Structure 1
Protein backbone atom coordinates (compact mmCIF):
# COMPACT_ATOMS: atom_id res chain seq x y z
CA UNK A 1 0.00 0.00 0.00
CA UNK A 2 1.38 3.37 -0.99
CA UNK A 3 1.36 6.55 1.10
CA UNK A 4 -2.09 8.00 1.82
CA UNK A 5 -3.61 10.20 -0.85
CA UNK A 6 -6.23 12.90 -0.53
CA UNK A 7 -9.71 11.88 -1.63
CA UNK A 8 -10.08 15.18 -3.48
CA UNK A 9 -13.24 14.31 -5.39
CA UNK A 10 -15.54 17.31 -4.99
CA UNK A 11 -19.14 16.52 -5.82
CA UNK A 12 -21.77 19.14 -6.57
CA UNK A 13 -24.71 16.72 -6.66
CA UNK A 14 -24.06 13.18 -5.35
CA UNK A 15 -26.28 10.35 -6.49
CA UNK A 16 -29.05 9.12 -4.23
CA UNK A 17 -30.34 5.61 -3.65
CA UNK A 18 -33.17 4.58 -5.95
CA UNK A 19 -33.82 1.12 -4.53
CA UNK A 20 -32.43 -1.42 -2.05
CA UNK A 21 -32.27 -5.05 -3.07
CA UNK A 22 -31.34 -7.93 -0.76
CA UNK A 23 -30.95 -10.64 -3.38
CA UNK A 24 -32.16 -14.23 -3.52
CA UNK A 25 -30.56 -17.23 -1.83
CA UNK A 26 -30.05 -19.99 -4.39
CA UNK A 27 -27.65 -22.68 -5.59
CA UNK A 28 -25.60 -22.97 -8.75
CA UNK A 29 -22.93 -25.21 -10.22
CA UNK A 30 -22.86 -28.53 -8.37
CA UNK A 31 -24.86 -27.17 -5.45
CA UNK A 32 -22.82 -24.14 -4.36
CA UNK A 33 -24.93 -21.99 -2.04
CA UNK A 34 -24.91 -18.29 -2.91
CA UNK A 35 -26.94 -15.10 -2.93
CA UNK A 36 -27.93 -13.81 -6.38
CA UNK A 37 -27.93 -10.06 -5.91
CA UNK A 38 -28.28 -8.81 -9.47
CA UNK A 39 -30.99 -10.94 -11.03
CA UNK A 40 -32.48 -11.28 -14.51
CA UNK A 41 -35.18 -8.70 -13.78
CA UNK A 42 -32.52 -6.01 -13.15
CA UNK A 43 -30.49 -6.56 -16.34
CA UNK A 44 -32.04 -3.69 -18.29
CA UNK A 45 -31.87 -1.34 -15.31
CA UNK A 46 -28.20 -2.12 -14.58
CA UNK A 47 -27.04 -2.59 -18.19
CA UNK A 48 -24.23 -3.52 -19.01
CA UNK A 49 -24.24 -5.86 -15.98
CA UNK A 50 -26.12 -9.12 -16.19
CA UNK A 51 -25.64 -10.85 -12.83
CA UNK A 52 -23.92 -10.54 -9.45
CA UNK A 53 -23.51 -13.51 -7.12
CA UNK A 54 -22.15 -13.29 -3.59
CA UNK A 55 -20.92 -16.48 -1.94
CA UNK A 56 -19.78 -16.76 1.68
CA UNK A 57 -19.65 -19.83 3.88
CA UNK A 58 -17.35 -21.62 6.32
CA UNK A 59 -19.20 -24.92 5.72
CA UNK A 60 -17.44 -26.93 2.98
CA UNK A 61 -20.73 -28.66 2.14
CA UNK A 62 -21.92 -25.30 0.80
CA UNK A 63 -19.12 -24.91 -1.76
CA UNK A 64 -16.82 -27.93 -2.09
CA UNK A 65 -18.40 -29.35 -5.29
CA UNK A 66 -17.71 -26.08 -7.09
CA UNK A 67 -18.68 -25.39 -10.68
CA UNK A 68 -17.80 -28.32 -13.00
CA UNK A 69 -17.46 -27.85 -16.77
CA UNK A 70 -20.06 -25.46 -18.17
CA UNK A 71 -20.20 -23.20 -21.26
CA UNK A 72 -20.48 -19.43 -21.70
CA UNK A 73 -20.94 -17.20 -24.73
CA UNK A 74 -21.51 -13.49 -25.26
CA UNK A 75 -20.24 -11.83 -22.06
CA UNK A 76 -17.43 -11.55 -19.50
CA UNK A 77 -17.18 -13.09 -16.03
CA UNK A 78 -15.27 -11.33 -13.26
CA UNK A 79 -14.63 -13.51 -10.22
CA UNK A 80 -13.28 -11.78 -7.11
CA UNK A 81 -12.08 -14.24 -4.48
CA UNK A 82 -11.96 -12.47 -1.12
CA UNK A 83 -11.13 -15.61 0.88
CA UNK A 84 -10.37 -19.12 -0.38
CA UNK A 85 -8.83 -20.86 -3.38
CA UNK A 86 -10.50 -21.80 -6.68
CA UNK A 87 -8.89 -23.60 -9.65
CA UNK A 88 -9.93 -22.45 -13.14
CA UNK A 89 -9.51 -24.55 -16.29
CA UNK A 90 -11.01 -23.86 -19.70
CA UNK A 91 -11.30 -25.19 -23.23
CA UNK A 92 -8.97 -22.47 -24.56
CA UNK A 93 -6.15 -24.10 -22.60
CA UNK A 94 -6.06 -21.61 -19.73
CA UNK A 95 -5.53 -22.68 -16.13
CA UNK A 96 -5.08 -20.60 -13.00
CA UNK A 97 -5.44 -20.65 -9.22
CA UNK A 98 -7.55 -17.83 -7.83
CA UNK A 99 -6.50 -17.08 -4.24
CA UNK A 100 -7.25 -14.64 -1.40
CA UNK A 101 -7.92 -11.20 -2.83
CA UNK A 102 -7.34 -12.23 -6.44
CA UNK A 103 -9.45 -11.63 -9.55
CA UNK A 104 -10.12 -13.83 -12.56
CA UNK A 105 -11.34 -11.94 -15.65
CA UNK A 106 -12.64 -14.17 -18.42
CA UNK A 107 -14.06 -12.95 -21.72
CA UNK A 108 -16.20 -15.84 -22.97
CA UNK A 109 -17.02 -14.03 -26.24
CA UNK A 110 -17.59 -16.64 -29.02
CA UNK A 111 -17.59 -19.49 -26.54
CA UNK A 112 -15.63 -21.25 -23.84
CA UNK A 113 -16.18 -24.24 -21.56
CA UNK A 114 -14.65 -23.84 -18.13
CA UNK A 115 -14.66 -25.22 -14.60
CA UNK A 116 -14.12 -23.54 -11.23
CA UNK A 117 -13.33 -26.03 -8.47
CA UNK A 118 -12.34 -25.13 -4.87
CA UNK A 119 -8.87 -26.22 -3.80
CA UNK A 120 -9.63 -26.32 -0.09
CA UNK A 121 -11.40 -28.82 2.14
CA UNK A 122 -12.30 -26.57 5.06
CA UNK A 123 -12.33 -22.94 6.14
CA UNK A 124 -14.18 -19.98 4.76
CA UNK A 125 -14.78 -19.25 1.11
CA UNK A 126 -16.07 -15.82 0.15
CA UNK A 127 -16.27 -13.80 -3.02
CA UNK A 128 -18.27 -12.40 -5.91
CA UNK A 129 -18.92 -13.27 -9.51
CA UNK A 130 -20.05 -10.44 -11.76
CA UNK A 131 -21.25 -10.86 -15.35
CA UNK A 132 -20.48 -7.98 -17.74
CA UNK A 133 -22.21 -7.95 -21.11
CA UNK A 134 -20.29 -7.57 -24.35
CA UNK A 135 -21.41 -5.26 -27.15
CA UNK A 136 -22.96 -7.04 -30.13
CA UNK A 137 -19.87 -6.29 -32.26
CA UNK A 138 -17.60 -8.15 -29.78
CA UNK A 139 -19.73 -11.15 -28.83
CA UNK A 140 -18.08 -13.47 -31.37
CA UNK A 141 -14.49 -12.39 -30.70
CA UNK A 142 -11.95 -14.92 -29.48
CA UNK A 143 -12.10 -15.77 -25.75
CA UNK A 144 -9.64 -14.10 -23.36
CA UNK A 145 -8.55 -14.88 -19.82
CA UNK A 146 -6.33 -13.25 -17.18
CA UNK A 147 -5.64 -13.99 -13.52
CA UNK A 148 -4.68 -11.14 -11.21
CA UNK A 149 -3.28 -12.06 -7.82
CA UNK A 150 -3.98 -9.65 -4.99
CA UNK A 151 -0.51 -8.09 -5.29
CA UNK A 152 -1.20 -7.36 -8.99
CA UNK A 153 -4.27 -5.22 -8.29
CA UNK A 154 -3.78 -1.43 -8.02
CA UNK A 155 -4.62 -0.08 -4.55
CA UNK A 156 -4.57 3.17 -2.63
CA UNK A 157 -5.41 4.43 0.84
CA UNK A 158 -6.91 7.82 1.63
CA UNK A 159 -6.00 10.14 4.49
CA UNK A 160 -8.95 8.91 6.56
CA UNK A 161 -7.75 5.31 6.27
CA UNK A 162 -10.13 4.12 3.54
CA UNK A 163 -8.48 1.36 1.51
CA UNK A 164 -9.52 0.97 -2.14
CA UNK A 165 -8.70 -1.80 -4.60
CA UNK A 166 -9.24 -0.75 -8.23
CA UNK A 167 -10.21 -3.92 -10.09
CA UNK A 168 -11.44 -2.08 -13.18
CA UNK A 169 -11.72 1.50 -14.34
CA UNK A 170 -10.16 4.39 -12.41
CA UNK A 171 -10.54 6.13 -9.06
CA UNK A 172 -8.72 9.16 -7.66
CA UNK A 173 -6.21 9.00 -10.49
CA UNK A 174 -5.40 5.31 -9.93
CA UNK A 175 -6.00 3.12 -13.01
CA UNK A 176 -7.42 -0.36 -12.44
CA UNK A 177 -6.18 -3.74 -13.58
CA UNK A 178 -8.63 -3.86 -16.51
CA UNK A 179 -10.24 -1.27 -18.78
CA UNK A 180 -12.91 -1.73 -21.45
CA UNK A 181 -13.50 0.86 -24.16
CA UNK A 182 -17.21 0.32 -24.79
CA UNK A 183 -18.76 -0.57 -21.41
CA UNK A 184 -16.22 1.47 -19.39
CA UNK A 185 -16.62 -0.66 -16.24
CA UNK A 186 -15.47 0.56 -12.84
CA UNK A 187 -15.21 -2.03 -10.07
CA UNK A 188 -13.92 -0.90 -6.67
CA UNK A 189 -13.55 -2.78 -3.39
CA UNK A 190 -13.75 -0.10 -0.67
CA UNK A 191 -12.85 -0.68 2.99
CA UNK A 192 -13.96 2.20 5.21
CA UNK A 193 -13.04 2.67 8.87
CA UNK A 194 -15.99 3.32 11.18
CA UNK A 195 -17.49 6.73 10.46
CA UNK A 196 -15.28 7.38 7.42
CA UNK A 197 -16.52 8.56 4.03
CA UNK A 198 -15.32 8.09 0.46
CA UNK A 199 -16.29 9.96 -2.71
CA UNK A 200 -15.97 8.84 -6.31
CA UNK A 201 -16.90 10.47 -9.62
CA UNK A 202 -19.41 8.63 -11.83
CA UNK A 203 -20.31 9.76 -15.36
CA UNK A 204 -23.99 10.78 -15.38
CA UNK A 205 -24.83 8.34 -18.20
CA UNK A 206 -23.46 5.30 -16.32
CA UNK A 207 -25.55 2.85 -14.30
CA UNK A 208 -24.18 2.16 -10.83
CA UNK A 209 -24.74 0.12 -7.68
CA UNK A 210 -23.15 -0.49 -4.27
CA UNK A 211 -23.19 -3.78 -2.34
CA UNK A 212 -22.38 -3.84 1.39
CA UNK A 213 -20.62 -7.03 2.50
CA UNK A 214 -19.35 -5.90 5.94
CA UNK A 215 -20.85 -3.45 8.37
CA UNK A 216 -23.37 -0.91 7.11
CA UNK A 217 -23.26 2.24 5.05
CA UNK A 218 -25.31 5.28 4.19
CA UNK A 219 -25.60 7.11 0.88
CA UNK A 220 -27.07 10.62 1.02
CA UNK A 221 -28.86 9.79 4.27
CA UNK A 222 -30.22 6.44 3.08
CA UNK A 223 -29.12 3.47 5.20
CA UNK A 224 -27.77 0.51 3.24
CA UNK A 225 -27.72 -2.56 5.52
CA UNK A 226 -25.38 -5.53 5.36
CA UNK A 227 -25.84 -7.79 2.30
CA UNK A 228 -27.96 -5.21 0.50
CA UNK A 229 -27.40 -3.73 -2.95
CA UNK A 230 -28.19 -0.05 -3.41
CA UNK A 231 -29.10 0.83 -6.98
CA UNK A 232 -28.05 4.43 -7.51
CA UNK A 233 -30.52 6.84 -9.06
CA UNK A 234 -29.73 8.04 -12.57
CA UNK A 235 -29.64 11.82 -12.67
CA UNK A 236 -28.17 13.88 -15.56
CA UNK A 237 -26.98 16.46 -13.03
CA UNK A 238 -25.34 14.03 -10.60
CA UNK A 239 -21.57 13.71 -10.70
CA UNK A 240 -20.71 10.87 -8.34
CA UNK A 241 -21.27 9.19 -5.00
CA UNK A 242 -20.30 9.62 -1.36
CA UNK A 243 -20.39 6.49 0.79
CA UNK A 244 -20.43 6.91 4.57
CA UNK A 245 -19.56 4.06 6.92
CA UNK A 246 -21.69 3.53 10.01
CA UNK A 247 -20.50 2.85 13.55
CA UNK A 248 -18.31 -0.07 12.50
CA UNK A 249 -15.73 -0.79 9.81
CA UNK A 250 -17.55 -1.25 6.52
CA UNK A 251 -16.66 -2.96 3.24
CA UNK A 252 -18.51 -2.37 -0.02
CA UNK A 253 -18.07 -2.94 -3.71
CA UNK A 254 -18.96 -0.09 -6.06
CA UNK A 255 -19.72 -1.05 -9.67
CA UNK A 256 -20.49 1.35 -12.51
CA UNK A 257 -20.67 1.04 -16.28
CA UNK A 258 -21.83 2.58 -19.52
CA UNK A 259 -25.06 0.94 -20.72
CA UNK A 260 -25.00 -0.76 -24.11
CA UNK A 261 -28.70 -0.15 -24.80
CA UNK A 262 -28.84 -3.28 -26.94
CA UNK A 263 -31.31 -6.19 -26.81
CA UNK A 264 -30.50 -8.76 -24.10
CA UNK A 265 -31.55 -12.33 -24.84
CA UNK A 266 -30.35 -14.85 -22.27
CA UNK A 267 -30.66 -18.62 -22.22
CA UNK A 268 -28.77 -19.94 -19.19
CA UNK A 269 -25.04 -19.41 -19.83
CA UNK A 270 -25.55 -17.75 -23.23
CA UNK A 271 -26.29 -14.02 -23.58
CA UNK A 272 -26.80 -12.71 -27.09
CA UNK A 273 -28.93 -10.12 -28.90
CA UNK A 274 -31.51 -12.35 -30.60
CA UNK A 275 -33.22 -15.72 -30.24
CA UNK A 276 -31.58 -16.83 -33.49
CA UNK A 277 -28.14 -16.17 -31.98
CA UNK A 278 -29.12 -18.18 -28.89
CA UNK A 279 -30.18 -21.13 -31.06
CA UNK A 280 -26.85 -20.88 -32.87
CA UNK A 281 -24.99 -20.85 -29.53
CA UNK A 282 -26.80 -24.01 -28.39
CA UNK A 283 -26.05 -25.74 -31.70
CA UNK A 284 -22.39 -24.70 -31.60
CA UNK A 285 -22.03 -25.98 -28.04
CA UNK A 286 -23.75 -29.28 -28.79
CA UNK A 287 -21.57 -29.79 -31.86
CA UNK A 288 -18.33 -29.18 -29.94
CA UNK A 289 -17.47 -25.79 -31.41
CA UNK A 290 -16.56 -24.37 -27.99
CA UNK A 291 -13.50 -26.63 -27.81
CA UNK A 292 -13.06 -30.08 -26.34
CA UNK A 293 -13.66 -29.06 -22.71
CA UNK A 294 -11.36 -28.25 -19.83
Structure 2
Protein backbone atom coordinates (compact mmCIF):
# COMPACT_ATOMS: atom_id res chain seq x y z
CA UNK A 1 0.00 0.00 0.00
CA UNK A 2 1.23 3.51 -0.75
CA UNK A 3 -0.20 6.78 0.54
CA UNK A 4 -0.88 9.34 -2.17
CA UNK A 5 1.26 12.42 -1.57
CA UNK A 6 -0.36 15.84 -1.60
CA UNK A 7 0.83 17.54 -4.78
CA UNK A 8 -0.90 20.82 -4.14
CA UNK A 9 -3.48 22.50 -1.96
CA UNK A 10 -5.27 25.70 -2.80
CA UNK A 11 -8.35 27.60 -1.63
CA UNK A 12 -11.35 27.80 -3.92
CA UNK A 13 -11.55 31.26 -5.49
CA UNK A 14 -14.63 33.49 -5.33
CA UNK A 15 -16.22 34.14 -8.71
CA UNK A 16 -19.60 34.83 -10.29
CA UNK A 17 -21.49 32.78 -12.85
CA UNK A 18 -24.91 32.64 -14.48
CA UNK A 19 -27.07 35.70 -13.86
CA UNK A 20 -25.11 36.72 -10.77
CA UNK A 21 -24.56 33.61 -8.64
CA UNK A 22 -21.71 34.14 -6.17
CA UNK A 23 -19.72 30.93 -5.76
CA UNK A 24 -16.23 29.56 -5.13
CA UNK A 25 -14.35 27.70 -7.89
CA UNK A 26 -11.81 25.07 -6.86
CA UNK A 27 -10.58 24.52 -10.43
CA UNK A 28 -11.65 25.11 -14.01
CA UNK A 29 -10.82 26.98 -17.24
CA UNK A 30 -7.07 26.57 -16.80
CA UNK A 31 -5.12 23.35 -17.41
CA UNK A 32 -7.60 20.57 -18.35
CA UNK A 33 -4.90 17.89 -17.95
CA UNK A 34 -4.38 18.71 -14.27
CA UNK A 35 -7.30 16.62 -12.99
CA UNK A 36 -8.27 14.83 -16.21
CA UNK A 37 -11.06 13.63 -16.70
CA UNK A 38 -12.49 16.40 -14.49
CA UNK A 39 -12.65 19.92 -15.89
CA UNK A 40 -14.28 22.18 -13.30
CA UNK A 41 -15.55 22.15 -9.72
CA UNK A 42 -17.76 24.84 -8.16
CA UNK A 43 -18.99 25.26 -4.59
CA UNK A 44 -22.14 27.39 -4.52
CA UNK A 45 -22.83 28.26 -0.89
CA UNK A 46 -24.67 31.32 0.36
CA UNK A 47 -27.31 32.43 2.86
CA UNK A 48 -28.24 35.62 0.98
CA UNK A 49 -30.83 34.90 -1.74
CA UNK A 50 -29.81 38.10 -3.56
CA UNK A 51 -26.47 36.41 -4.30
CA UNK A 52 -27.90 33.27 -5.92
CA UNK A 53 -31.64 33.64 -6.71
CA UNK A 54 -31.19 34.72 -10.35
CA UNK A 55 -29.53 31.38 -10.97
CA UNK A 56 -28.19 29.97 -14.19
CA UNK A 57 -30.66 30.84 -17.00
CA UNK A 58 -30.80 28.95 -20.29
CA UNK A 59 -27.35 27.94 -21.56
CA UNK A 60 -25.90 25.16 -23.75
CA UNK A 61 -23.64 22.20 -22.99
CA UNK A 62 -21.95 19.73 -25.31
CA UNK A 63 -19.24 17.13 -24.85
CA UNK A 64 -19.33 16.89 -21.03
CA UNK A 65 -21.21 15.48 -18.08
CA UNK A 66 -22.27 17.68 -15.15
CA UNK A 67 -22.73 16.35 -11.64
CA UNK A 68 -24.83 18.47 -9.26
CA UNK A 69 -24.93 17.58 -5.54
CA UNK A 70 -27.21 19.65 -3.31
CA UNK A 71 -26.65 19.91 0.48
CA UNK A 72 -29.03 22.72 1.46
CA UNK A 73 -31.94 24.35 -0.34
CA UNK A 74 -32.99 23.15 -3.78
CA UNK A 75 -32.21 23.51 -7.49
CA UNK A 76 -35.05 23.59 -10.03
CA UNK A 77 -34.00 22.56 -13.52
CA UNK A 78 -35.46 22.37 -16.99
CA UNK A 79 -34.09 21.63 -20.46
CA UNK A 80 -34.70 21.77 -24.19
CA UNK A 81 -35.88 18.15 -24.22
CA UNK A 82 -38.80 18.96 -21.94
CA UNK A 83 -37.33 17.54 -18.74
CA UNK A 84 -38.09 19.39 -15.51
CA UNK A 85 -37.53 18.66 -11.85
CA UNK A 86 -36.15 19.83 -8.53
CA UNK A 87 -33.13 18.59 -6.61
CA UNK A 88 -33.55 18.81 -2.84
CA UNK A 89 -31.09 18.54 0.04
CA UNK A 90 -28.94 15.44 -0.36
CA UNK A 91 -30.05 14.80 -3.95
CA UNK A 92 -27.76 14.28 -6.95
CA UNK A 93 -28.20 14.84 -10.67
CA UNK A 94 -25.79 13.49 -13.27
CA UNK A 95 -26.46 15.06 -16.68
CA UNK A 96 -24.77 13.74 -19.80
CA UNK A 97 -24.88 16.64 -22.24
CA UNK A 98 -23.46 14.56 -25.08
CA UNK A 99 -24.37 15.97 -28.50
CA UNK A 100 -25.97 19.02 -26.98
CA UNK A 101 -28.58 20.32 -24.62
CA UNK A 102 -29.95 23.68 -23.49
CA UNK A 103 -30.91 23.86 -19.83
CA UNK A 104 -31.35 26.14 -16.86
CA UNK A 105 -30.70 25.68 -13.13
CA UNK A 106 -32.37 27.94 -10.58
CA UNK A 107 -31.23 27.68 -6.93
CA UNK A 108 -33.65 28.19 -4.05
CA UNK A 109 -32.79 28.55 -0.36
CA UNK A 110 -34.17 26.56 2.55
CA UNK A 111 -36.40 28.11 5.23
CA UNK A 112 -33.41 30.08 6.52
CA UNK A 113 -32.43 31.23 3.04
CA UNK A 114 -29.40 28.94 2.90
CA UNK A 115 -28.27 27.40 -0.37
CA UNK A 116 -25.35 24.99 -0.68
CA UNK A 117 -24.32 22.61 -3.41
CA UNK A 118 -21.54 21.52 -5.71
CA UNK A 119 -21.18 21.10 -9.46
CA UNK A 120 -18.47 19.00 -11.08
CA UNK A 121 -17.80 18.80 -14.82
CA UNK A 122 -16.43 15.54 -16.24
CA UNK A 123 -15.11 15.35 -19.79
CA UNK A 124 -16.50 12.88 -22.31
CA UNK A 125 -14.13 10.85 -24.50
CA UNK A 126 -14.12 11.57 -28.25
CA UNK A 127 -16.17 8.43 -28.90
CA UNK A 128 -19.03 9.74 -26.72
CA UNK A 129 -18.92 13.50 -27.39
CA UNK A 130 -22.01 13.23 -29.61
CA UNK A 131 -23.92 10.62 -27.63
CA UNK A 132 -27.61 11.21 -26.86
CA UNK A 133 -28.19 13.44 -23.79
CA UNK A 134 -29.54 11.78 -20.65
CA UNK A 135 -30.22 12.45 -16.97
CA UNK A 136 -29.84 10.46 -13.79
CA UNK A 137 -31.70 12.04 -10.86
CA UNK A 138 -31.08 10.37 -7.50
CA UNK A 139 -32.92 11.30 -4.30
CA UNK A 140 -31.10 11.40 -1.00
CA UNK A 141 -32.67 8.23 0.52
CA UNK A 142 -31.34 6.20 -2.44
CA UNK A 143 -27.70 7.14 -1.76
CA UNK A 144 -26.01 4.52 0.45
CA UNK A 145 -24.51 5.84 3.67
CA UNK A 146 -22.01 3.73 5.58
CA UNK A 147 -21.20 4.39 9.24
CA UNK A 148 -17.96 2.80 10.44
CA UNK A 149 -17.27 1.74 14.03
CA UNK A 150 -15.27 4.93 14.73
CA UNK A 151 -18.15 7.13 13.59
CA UNK A 152 -16.80 7.86 10.10
CA UNK A 153 -19.67 8.38 7.63
CA UNK A 154 -19.38 7.86 3.89
CA UNK A 155 -22.12 8.62 1.35
CA UNK A 156 -21.39 6.60 -1.80
CA UNK A 157 -22.68 8.75 -4.64
CA UNK A 158 -20.86 7.07 -7.52
CA UNK A 159 -18.69 3.97 -7.67
CA UNK A 160 -18.09 1.21 -5.15
CA UNK A 161 -16.77 1.67 -1.63
CA UNK A 162 -16.66 -0.56 1.46
CA UNK A 163 -18.89 -3.09 -0.28
CA UNK A 164 -21.62 -0.62 -1.28
CA UNK A 165 -22.28 0.82 -4.73
CA UNK A 166 -23.60 4.27 -5.51
CA UNK A 167 -26.82 4.55 -7.54
CA UNK A 168 -25.39 6.59 -10.45
CA UNK A 169 -23.95 4.36 -13.18
CA UNK A 170 -22.86 4.22 -16.81
CA UNK A 171 -20.56 7.24 -16.47
CA UNK A 172 -17.76 7.52 -19.03
CA UNK A 173 -15.13 8.62 -16.50
CA UNK A 174 -15.94 5.58 -14.32
CA UNK A 175 -15.53 7.82 -11.28
CA UNK A 176 -15.72 7.37 -7.55
CA UNK A 177 -17.53 10.22 -5.77
CA UNK A 178 -17.69 10.03 -1.97
CA UNK A 179 -18.98 12.44 0.69
CA UNK A 180 -16.89 11.65 3.78
CA UNK A 181 -17.28 12.85 7.39
CA UNK A 182 -14.54 11.91 9.89
CA UNK A 183 -15.15 12.58 13.62
CA UNK A 184 -12.84 14.80 15.70
CA UNK A 185 -9.38 13.35 16.29
CA UNK A 186 -9.91 10.24 14.15
CA UNK A 187 -7.21 9.18 11.69
CA UNK A 188 -8.65 7.37 8.67
CA UNK A 189 -7.35 5.78 5.48
CA UNK A 190 -9.39 5.37 2.27
CA UNK A 191 -8.50 3.22 -0.73
CA UNK A 192 -8.30 4.89 -4.14
CA UNK A 193 -7.57 3.07 -7.40
CA UNK A 194 -3.90 3.65 -8.32
CA UNK A 195 -4.66 4.48 -11.94
CA UNK A 196 -7.16 7.27 -11.27
CA UNK A 197 -6.60 10.98 -10.84
CA UNK A 198 -7.85 11.98 -7.42
CA UNK A 199 -8.66 15.06 -5.37
CA UNK A 200 -10.35 15.98 -2.11
CA UNK A 201 -12.43 19.06 -1.49
CA UNK A 202 -12.69 20.03 2.19
CA UNK A 203 -15.88 21.96 2.91
CA UNK A 204 -16.40 21.68 6.67
CA UNK A 205 -14.20 21.33 9.73
CA UNK A 206 -10.45 20.77 9.52
CA UNK A 207 -8.09 17.92 8.79
CA UNK A 208 -4.54 17.01 7.79
CA UNK A 209 -3.79 14.80 4.80
CA UNK A 210 -0.71 12.63 5.11
CA UNK A 211 2.49 13.74 3.37
CA UNK A 212 1.37 17.35 3.01
CA UNK A 213 4.42 19.57 2.63
CA UNK A 214 2.69 22.94 2.98
CA UNK A 215 -0.41 24.32 4.72
CA UNK A 216 -3.47 22.70 3.24
CA UNK A 217 -5.83 25.57 4.00
CA UNK A 218 -7.35 23.39 6.72
CA UNK A 219 -4.91 21.96 9.25
CA UNK A 220 -1.31 21.02 8.57
CA UNK A 221 0.54 18.36 10.52
CA UNK A 222 4.24 17.68 10.05
CA UNK A 223 7.03 16.32 12.19
CA UNK A 224 9.38 18.96 13.56
CA UNK A 225 12.11 17.67 15.89
CA UNK A 226 9.87 14.76 16.82
CA UNK A 227 6.90 16.93 17.67
CA UNK A 228 3.77 17.65 15.68
CA UNK A 229 3.36 21.23 14.54
CA UNK A 230 -0.24 22.30 13.96
CA UNK A 231 -0.99 25.24 11.71
CA UNK A 232 -4.49 26.44 10.90
CA UNK A 233 -5.06 28.55 7.80
CA UNK A 234 -7.65 31.30 8.46
CA UNK A 235 -9.35 30.43 5.17
CA UNK A 236 -10.69 27.31 6.88
CA UNK A 237 -12.66 25.10 4.54
CA UNK A 238 -13.28 25.38 0.76
CA UNK A 239 -9.87 23.83 0.07
CA UNK A 240 -8.84 21.67 -2.88
CA UNK A 241 -6.30 18.93 -2.16
CA UNK A 242 -4.74 17.37 -5.27
CA UNK A 243 -3.06 13.99 -4.83
CA UNK A 244 -0.24 12.22 -6.61
CA UNK A 245 0.03 8.52 -7.39
CA UNK A 246 -0.77 5.85 -4.81
CA UNK A 247 -3.62 3.68 -3.62
CA UNK A 248 -4.50 5.27 -0.27
CA UNK A 249 -5.49 8.67 1.07
CA UNK A 250 -4.99 9.23 4.81
CA UNK A 251 -6.56 12.07 6.79
CA UNK A 252 -6.29 13.11 10.42
CA UNK A 253 -9.45 14.94 11.50
CA UNK A 254 -9.07 18.15 13.48
CA UNK A 255 -10.80 19.15 16.69
CA UNK A 256 -14.13 19.77 14.95
CA UNK A 257 -13.92 16.77 12.64
CA UNK A 258 -13.63 17.10 8.89
CA UNK A 259 -16.03 16.68 5.97
CA UNK A 260 -14.81 16.45 2.41
CA UNK A 261 -15.58 15.07 -1.01
CA UNK A 262 -13.14 12.43 -2.29
CA UNK A 263 -13.38 12.16 -6.07
CA UNK A 264 -11.37 10.12 -8.55
CA UNK A 265 -11.67 9.13 -12.19
CA UNK A 266 -9.79 7.48 -15.04
CA UNK A 267 -7.91 10.08 -17.16
CA UNK A 268 -8.89 10.31 -20.84
CA UNK A 269 -5.56 11.75 -22.05
CA UNK A 270 -7.20 13.31 -25.10
CA UNK A 271 -6.83 16.78 -26.62
CA UNK A 272 -9.27 19.38 -25.28
CA UNK A 273 -10.84 22.26 -27.22
CA UNK A 274 -12.87 24.24 -24.70
CA UNK A 275 -15.05 27.33 -24.88
CA UNK A 276 -17.37 28.05 -21.95
CA UNK A 277 -19.88 25.21 -21.53
CA UNK A 278 -18.77 23.36 -24.69
CA UNK A 279 -15.82 20.96 -24.59
CA UNK A 280 -14.68 19.14 -27.74
CA UNK A 281 -11.43 17.60 -28.99
CA UNK A 282 -10.55 19.97 -31.85
CA UNK A 283 -11.00 23.63 -32.70
CA UNK A 284 -12.95 22.61 -35.82
CA UNK A 285 -15.46 20.71 -33.65
CA UNK A 286 -15.71 23.71 -31.36
CA UNK A 287 -16.35 26.08 -34.27
CA UNK A 288 -19.00 23.70 -35.62
CA UNK A 289 -20.79 23.71 -32.25
CA UNK A 290 -20.79 27.51 -32.20
CA UNK A 291 -22.18 27.64 -35.78
CA UNK A 292 -24.94 25.23 -34.79
CA UNK A 293 -25.81 27.36 -31.78
CA UNK A 294 -26.19 30.36 -34.09
CA UNK A 295 -28.23 28.60 -36.81
CA UNK A 296 -30.51 26.65 -34.45
CA UNK A 297 -29.24 23.13 -35.26
CA UNK A 298 -27.40 22.57 -31.95
CA UNK A 299 -30.01 20.21 -30.49
CA UNK A 300 -29.92 16.87 -32.31
Q: TM-score, normalised by structure 1?
A: 0.90
Alignment partner of 1:40: what SS?
coil
Match of 2:255, SS?
Answer: coil
Task: Find the counterpart in structure 1 of residue 231 from structure 2.
Answer: none
Which residue of structure 2 lines up, in the alignment, with residue 157 of structure 1? 147
* Compared CA separation, residues 157 and 69, structure 1 to 2 (3 A): same
Stretch of structure 1 that moved more, 242-251 or 114-123? 114-123
CA 1:111–1:182 in 2, change beyond 3 Å: closer, same or farther? closer
Tell me if 1:89 matches 2:97: no
Question: What's the counterpart of residue 296 of structure 2?
Answer: 288
User: Which residue among 177, 200, 205 is the counterpart of 1:215?
Assistant: 205
Residue equivalent to 1:138: 128
Which stretch of the first structure deviates more once superposed, 44-53 or 121-130?
121-130
In 2, Cα distance between the equivalents of 1:76 and 1:39? Answer: 14
C-alpha distance in 2 between matches for 1:243 and 1:93: 44
Task: Tell me the C-alpha RMSD between the 2 structures.
Answer: 1.6
Q: Is the 8 A contact 2:206 2:258 kept in 1?
A: yes
1:15 aligns with 2:23: no
CA distance in 2, matches of 1:210, 1:185: 13
1:253 deviates by 0.3
Q: Distance in 1 between matches of 2:135 and 2:152?
A: 30
Q: 1:266 is matched with which residue?
A: 274
Partner of 1:8 in structure 2? none
Partners in 2 of 1:290 and 1:195 — Cα distance? Answer: 52
Partner residue of 2:286 out of 241, 254, 278? 278
Shift in CA distance, 95/290, structure 1 to aligned 2, threshold 3 Å: farther
Alpha-carbon distance in structure 2 between the residues aligned to 1:80 and 1:135: 23
Mapped contact 2:108–2:115 kept (Cα < 8 A): no
Question: Post-superposition shift, 1:43?
Answer: 1.9
In the other structure, the counterpart of 2:116 is 126
> Does the 8 A contact of 1:198 with 1:244 survive in 2?
yes
1:23 Cα shift?
A: 2.4
Q: Give the one of 37, 53, 56 matched to 1:48.
A: 37
For 1:176, the equivalent position in structure 2 comes to 166
User: Are the aligned partners of 1:197 and 1:243 in contact in 2 as well (CA < 8 Å)?
Assistant: yes
Distance, in Å, in 2 between the alignment partners of 1:195 and 1:205 is: 30
Residues 180/217 of structure 1: CA separation in 2 closer, same or farther (3 Å cut): farther
CA distance in 2, matches of 1:248, 1:233: 27
Contact 2:138 2:168 in 1 (8 A): no
Q: 1:283 is paired with a residue of what secondary structure?
A: helix
Q: Among 61, 83, 93, which residue is 1:104 paired with?
A: 93
User: 1: CA distance between counterparts of 2:69 and 2:162?
Assistant: 21
Q: How does 1:16-35 map to 2 (within 5 A)?
A: 16-35=5-24
Q: Is the 8 A contact 1:172 1:200 kept in 2?
A: no
Gaps of 5+ in 2: 219-236
What are the superposed Cα offsets for residues 93-120 of structure 1, whole Å, 9 maximum, x if unpaired? 2111011011111000000000001244
- What is the deviation of 1:182? 4.3
Give distance in 2, aligned partners of 1:137 and 1:280: 17
Query: Which residue matches 2:251?
Result: 243
